[in-house]
Amino acid sequence: MLGNVLKKVALVLLVVVVYQNWGKIERLFNPSQTVSEQTRAQANVVLYATDWCGYCKQTKRFLDSKGIPFKEFDIEKDAEARKAYEALGGRGIPLIDVNGTLIRGFDQDEILAALK
């Protein structure tokens, strides 16, 4: 009985870990879909987000899957990040600063266009 419960808990934990790291896992199997080395080297990406935001998580997975380095700031836990977010106009999350271009919400095409 206890063995079955432990197996189910282990399976749930495995699913959660895979879900959280899907971008990195996907990049291992699809390296041809990554952004060029030069683009990654020149990328200056800042993500203003929260822990509970689903679109923020999608943004992080996308950036990870493309191998794009980024700095993440939680606007609920970091007062300085909140000030920076508000100085940029706030109004929703995620707020992504890609090389000086502000993107409100998760949009893969806008992110890739701002990187070029």
For the whole model, what pTM was predicted? Answer: 0.67
Sort strands 45-49 and 95-98 into parallel, antiparallel or unpaired. Answer: antiparallel
Q: Please, which contacts does 27-30 make with residues 24 or more away whose CB atoms are closer than 8 Å?
A: 27/64, 27/65, 27/66, 27/67, 30/65
SS3 26: helix
Summarize pLDDT for 21-80 with one digit per residue, the tens: 776 676 666 655 555 565 555 678 999 999 999 999 999 999 999 889 999 999 999 999
Place of tokens 């699913």: 15
Question: Quick one: which of 81, 72, 70, 23 has its CA closest to 43?
Answer: 70
End-to-end C-alpha distance for the chain, whole angstroms: 56
Q: Please state whether the peptide bond connecting residue 31 to the residue before it is cis, i.e. omega within 30 degrees of 0.
A: no
User: Residue 83 has what pLDDT?
Assistant: 94
- 58/4: higher pLDDT: 58
Q: How far apart are CA 57 and CA 50, in angstroms?
A: 9
User: Residue 30 has what pLDDT?
Assistant: 63
Q: List, in order of start, the domains of the chain with CATH numbers.
A: 2-115 (3.40.30.10)
